Every structure is written in structure tokens, then in C-alpha cells.
Structure 1
Amino acid sequence: MVTKTTDQMKALALKLYEINAFKFGDFKMKVGINSPVYFDLRVIVSYPDVMQTVSDLLVSHIKELELSSKHVCGVPYTALPLATIVSVQQHTPMLVRRKEAKAYGTKKLIEGIYQAGDTCLIVEDVVTSGSSILETVRDLQSEGIVVTDAVVVVDREQGGVANIAKHGVRMHSLFTLSFLLNTLHEEGRIERSTVDAVAKYIAAVQINSDGSFIGGDKTVAPNEFSRTKLTYESRANLAKSPLAKRLFNLMVAKQTNLCVAADLTKADAILDVADKCGPYICLLKTHVDIVEDFSENFVVNLQELAKRHNFLLLEDRKFADIGNTVSLQYGQGLYKIANWADLVTAHTLPGRSIVQGLKAALTGDNATKERGVFLLAEMSASGNLIDDKYKETSNKIATEGGDVDYVAGIVCQSASCFAFPGLIQLTPGVKINEGVDKLGQQYQTPEHVVKERGADIGVVGRGILEAASVEKAAVTYRDRLWAAYLERVAK
């Protein structure tokens, strides 16, 4: 670890967390088991200031350790940009290792000008078992190049240092996983329980360089960060969206994960449902464009009820246009949705511009308001055209890039749709009597959507709106959804 730049190191650790270069959840690893923490330093190429800081610290680390070599070589592919900057700053020639030899031309694995006996310093981003570094060492040594040291950004502390040392190579890291976790805890970004849970996993899962586990096979690792196993309190602490954090805490305070879909056409009818169901819900979902007598007074009254009963307003607009149009639809026009709706829904069909367009509407008086979006990744209608690729891309938009602070959650039908526990799963189509209506809407019971499909919030419409007593129905759904959640996290 670098000892002279602690403040700079801590600032960088926080920045890496903010840009989602590392995250918590339930992630499938190369060695075949799931991990509660995942590093993706590829994202730093989109943040030149972060790239510069990491490179500067690597160069300082190299100088502090007095590591000298004739060449530097980045482990393909994430470390290549870092190695390039180190090469330029150090005025040290660079070698490039291919993952596979070309089938044409020179068919080289190592590109660059070198001679047998030259020394080379390896640069790597993240080390788990050290296998990627050792593959690079092997290919360099096959060309007669001498490797004695490697510098890395993050050591996950799962056996990499010892594995690499067995092959005569010393590994020097900027960060250890322990340092990153403790920094986040000290700065109030994660709870002590998060630090302890990851430490427990790391201690239990030590890996040999061949991918086997030290101490025998570990088909099941102690990963306590599966999204559906965590409590809402714990997940609130991991949320990147302030509104997701607020909603998690509201759910805990009121002990409800019920959203009522007030899909009604008269303003007074919606207000009546909001008043009767308000004490038992965390969200009220509207379709404002079907309200026949919409007025500013309706919005004022709806906001007053939300404040009185402590629930949030979700306008189920399902935005799907280009960024500029979406920005106008959200902030302007008759409904001025950005003025009053805490949350909205949006399709990811236009790509990342859908989120950027929504954020662009938050100007003037709305600039300081907490707002967020649920991105639509799956639908409850039978025969919908959403496929796995669409779901995967929606997940990336929600969890990667500079707009993750605006994404509160995902609208979906399955627990496997996303892993990040800081997002909220909103699942429509909840009804005590399962079935399919004449227009293809599929319904599932409260217990099924929460325990089997991973819902954090169940959306109930006709099951409450068509009941003899709206209030009693809301209580019933609230109780069953919450009980299902408690059973889920108790397992």
C-alpha cells in the first residue's frame, strides 16, 4: 500500500465507488461462484480525471518502491490504458501482450521492440487469484523477458499475492479490498455489517492460481449480498439514488411494500383512493393522461395527501422518446409531471438518453427536488416483445455511467433481472386471485411475486379498486406483501 498519499487514496476510493467502478451485490465470478463485491475498472476510461489520478498514483508507487525495468506491459485488456500512461510518464518503452496470436502476419503474442534478457514491469487493474498476471508472465518469459514485479490497482486479497510469489514475481497493490471497505465505512457510505460480510466471504474463499479453491471445493460461498436476502434497511445504505434510499426507509418506517395503481379517470376518485389507502402504501401510481378532469388543484390535493399519509407519487408515464422530447414531456405541457411526481417510469428503448433527457428537465424550482425513475426491463403482459438482450442493456443503464443516482429501481417480473441491491424491484400484476385478463394482463399472488419473483414492491390495481371496501383490501394486500418480504429475508 502507498503510505504517503492517504488522503488522495481515500478520495480516489470514494470516487471509484461513486462511478460504480466497484459495487456490491451477487456477481458470478470467473472461478464459478458468486461474489458480494465486483470490480469493473473499465469504466474509468470514461472519466479522464480518474484515469489520470490512478495512473499518477501507480507511477508514484513505482518510484517509491524503486522498481526499475526496461519495459512495462499491461495485462490485457483493462490495464492497457493504465500501462500506456505509465509508459509515457516514466519514459519507459511499452510491450503489448495479445491474448491470442494472430493467424496472419508475424503471428506474435508480444508486440514491441525487445531483446532476450530485458526486464519488464507488469501493470494490472484487479487481482483475485493472480492467474491473469501469471499468463502474461508466461508469455513474456517465453520470449526471454525477465519479470520480477507487478503493480496492481486493487488486490482482492483472495490469494493472488501468494500465488504470484510462487512464480518468483512480487505483487505491489495501490489498494487492498480491506482498505476500500474501511474507507467507505469511515466516510459513512456503507455499514459495518457490509464490511464484515465481505470480509467473511474473502476469508472463506481463497483461490489457487489454477482456479481451484484453497481448502477444497466451495460450490456455495458465504455471500450475504444476494439482493433478495438483504433487508430494506441494509439496501438503503447501498443505494446510489437518494430517492431509492428514501423509499427503502419509508417502506421500513411504515412496514409496507404496497403500491396502489390508481388507474382511474376521475380526479376525485383518485383522491378518494389515495386518502383511504394512503396509510397502508409506500407508493401511489397514477396514469395522469387518463384523468379526464385534470387540474392544478388535483395535483395540490394529491401532494397534500401524500404528505399527510407519507407515501410517494409514481407517475407511470413510461417515457420512450428521444431525450429532448422526453425532457419536454416530463417538465412542460399540461401535466408538468416533474413538478409533482417523485418518480416516473421509462422504457430503455432510446438508450441512456432517456435518463439524461429526464434529468435535463430538472431545472428552476425542480432542480433541488429529489426525483427518480424506474426503468422498465420486463412487462407483465403476455406476448410482450422484451428479450434477454433488452433486459441486460436496461440493467447496464441502471447500474453503470454517470446517471445511476437518478435510477431508483427496475420494473420487472423476475429476481434474476438485476443483482445490485441498491435498486428497488417494482413488480406489477399482483392479485390474490391469479390469472390472465381478457387483454393479456397476467396476475400473481402477493406471496409469489415477493418470494419467487423477487419483488420489493408489489403493484396492485383492480384487486383493490374493485373491492367492496378499498381500505380493507389495501390492508389485506399490505399485510400479505409485508409478511412475504419478512419470510424472504428470514430464510
Structure 2
Amino acid sequence: MTPSSFPEPAVMAEIFAGQLLEIGAVHFNAKDPYRLASGMVSPVYIDCRKLISYPRIRSTVMDFAAATVLRQAGFEQFDCVAGGETAGIPFAAFLAERLGLPMIYVRKKPKGHGRNAQIEGVLPDGARVLVIEDLTTAGGSMFQFIDAIRAAGGVVEHGMALFFYDIFEEAVARFRAGNVTLHHLATWRDVLRAATDRQSFDAETLDAVGAFLDAPLEWSALHGGAAELPRS
């Protein structure tokens, strides 16, 4: 069902950040930081996949996602919703249901047998597609899916990340260069604010997370990780 109410973005961000803390999706560890696929090390890690196991929370999150898209993009701007392999697929299904739209999903690469398909579902030529992922760091994986949809004849001008890191200038530049408007519900700043208010972690850890968010690449380099994001 399409939402009929539109909470303010700051209210949705605050509630969503609290939900992520409530279900244990947020991990802060400055003493033994997490090594990411990019080679960076980080005192923060988030597991948005946990949302699918909490029906009441995921329903609220999908209401927020639908409200955000309708408010910021418009009511009749999309012909289908696409989820990227693998984490984006369930959220594409949930959001497509909310918006009353068809759904497709996109593999990271063609499956290599049968029809060798990369896109599953029906994608009419010229269809306007909203791409959704559980989270995006700098946009690399989302554009892998966007490029595949565009190559197949779809039109992508909007993306939705439930959670956006929002700490890398490269991400803003990538979406601008790719002519895609990124919509999101919450960022690391929202989560840090909620974690501080709730005293979810000790003060030393919260300070370390704040330092990382202020200068993530420098923090990574100082702790034995990569000092730059991959260009891909």
C-alpha cells in the first residue's frame, strides 16, 4: 500500500538509526577494527540484512523508503523497482509492493549458463527503474547494477540506499557524474547520534567512531588499512 503520510526526513533518520541499534545491526569496535573489501579498516560495520528478520521494523522502514522516494522524486516517476544481488533483492520486493510496481533483480554478472541472463524479470525497453540497495558506501556496487540496467535498455535516474555512509566525497561525485540522484534514510552521523543518546557504547569508542567519520581514509591509514578508495 502506498504511504499516505510523509514524516520529516530527520524524524525518519532518527527512528531508523534507533531501529538499527535495537536489532544489533550496528557494530562499533575501535580496538579491533573491521577490514572492508576495499582494503580500508574501519571501527564501524553495519549489517542491514538483519532488517528482513524483523517484520514490524522492516515494514516501517519500507514505509519510510516509499515516502522518501515519493516526496523527493515524485509519484509517477518509475515503471519498476530493481534490486541488486544479493542484499538488495528482498528490499526491492518489499518496496515494489509498497509502490505498486513490478520488480526485477540484477546479478553482479551474467550467470554463465542457460540464457546467460544478468537481469531477471521483465524489463521493457525505456522502462524507468528505481534501483535499491540495503546500503552504499561510495556507490561502486550500485553503479554495477545501474550500468547493467542501462545496457539492457532501462533508464535509471534514481537510486535508493536504505543506509548511506555519507563520509566519502567520491560518492557524491560518482552519483553526480552518473546522473543519478541518491535517496537514503540514514547515515553514520545519524547512527552515531542515536548511539550517543542511548549510551550504546562507551565514550572512548564513540569518540573513535567520530574521528573516523571526520577523516575515514586517514583513520584507516593510521590503523594499517588502505588510504584511498578503489577507483572501480
TM range (shorter): 0.7 to 0.9
How far, CA to CA, are the matches of 1:220 and 1:46 in structure 2?
A: 32
**SS of match in other structure, 1:221:** helix
2:157 counterpart of 1:144: no
1:10 aligned partner: 14
Conservation of the 8 A alpha-carbon contact between 2:81 and 2:96: yes
**Alignment partner, residue 53 of structure 2:** 46
Letter in 2 for 1:152: A
Alignment of 1:110-149 (within 5 A): 110-149=119-158
Deviations, residues 4-51 of structure 1 (Å, cap 9, x unaligned)? 164554333222113221211211101112110001111122211222
Assess, with a 3 A threshold, how the Cα gap between structure 1 residues 186 and 219 changes in structure 2: closer, same or farther: closer
Residues 58, 95 of structure 1: alpha-carbon distance in 2 compared, 3 angstrom cutoff? same
**Partner of residue 19, structure 1:** 23
Contact (CA 8 Å) 1:204, 1:222: kept in 2 or not? no
Tell whether the 8 Å contact from 2:131 to 2:158 is kept in structure 1 after alignment: yes
TM-score of the pair, normalised by structure 2: 0.82
Q: Deviations over 1:387-445 (max 9, x none)?
A: xxxxxxxxxxxxxxxxxxxxxxxxxxxxxxxxxxxxxxxxxxxxxxxxxxxxxxxxxxx
Question: In structure 2, what is the Cα distance between the partners aligned to 1:116 and 1:18?
Answer: 42
Shift in CA distance, 9/129, structure 1 to aligned 2, threshold 3 Å: closer
Correspondence for 1:185 among 187, 196, 203:
196
Give the CA deviation at 1:193: 4.7
**Distance (Å, rounded) in 2 between the aligned partners of 1:104 and 1:165:** 35
Using structure 1 for the length normalisation, give the TM-score.
0.40
2:145 partner letter: T
Contact 2:85 2:106 in 1 (8 A): yes
1:153 aligns with 2:162: yes
8 Å CA contact 1:95, 1:112 repeated in 2: yes
Deviation, 1:3, is 6.1
Q: CA separation in 2, counterparts of 1:152 and 1:43? A: 15
Alignment of 1:275-286 (within 5 A): none
Aligned to 2:230: none
Give 3-state SS (helix, strand or coil) of 1:86's partner: helix
Higher relative contact order structure (alpha carbons within 8 Å, sequence separation ≥ 6):
2
1:80 aligned residue (67, 89, 93)? 89
Aligned in 2, Cα 1:5/1:143: closer, same or farther, shift over 3 Å?
closer
Give CA-to-partner distance per residue, 1:136-195, whole Å, 9 cap, x none. 111111112111111111111224233222211111110011111112212332455544
SS at match of 1:73: strand
- Write the distance in 2 (CA, Å) between the matches of 1:73 and 1:37: 28
In structure 2, how many angstroms separate the alpha carbons of the residues matched to 1:17 and 1:203? Answer: 21
Matched with 1:104 is: 113
CA contact (8 A) 1:156 1:176 kept: yes
Gaps of 5+ in 2: 1-5, 224-232
Call closer, same or farther: CA 1:3–1:192 in 2, change over 3 Å: farther
User: 1:460-484 CA distances to partner (integer Å, 9 max, x unpaired)?
Assistant: xxxxxxxxxxxxxxxxxxxxxxxxx
Q: How far apart, in 2, do the equivalents of 1:97 and 1:8 lie?
A: 28
Check conservation: 1:154, 1:176, Cα contact below 8 A: yes
Aligned to 2:173: 162
Post-superposition offset of 1:58? 0.4
Q: Distance in 2 between matches of 1:116 and 1:152?
A: 24
Counterpart-to-counterpart distance in 2, 1:202 and 1:110 = 35
1:102 positional shift: 2.4
Deviations 1:268-308 (A, max 9, x none): xxxxxxxxxxxxxxxxxxxxxxxxxxxxxxxxxxxxxxxxx
Bigger Cα Rg = 1
Contact map agreement 2:65 2:95 (CA 8 A) in 1: yes
How many residues matched? 212
Partner Cα separation in structure 2 for residue 203 and residue 166 of structure 1: 24
User: 1:143, 1:195 → 2: CA distance?
Assistant: 45
Quote the RMSD (CA, aligned, Å): 2.3
Aligned-pair identity (%): 26
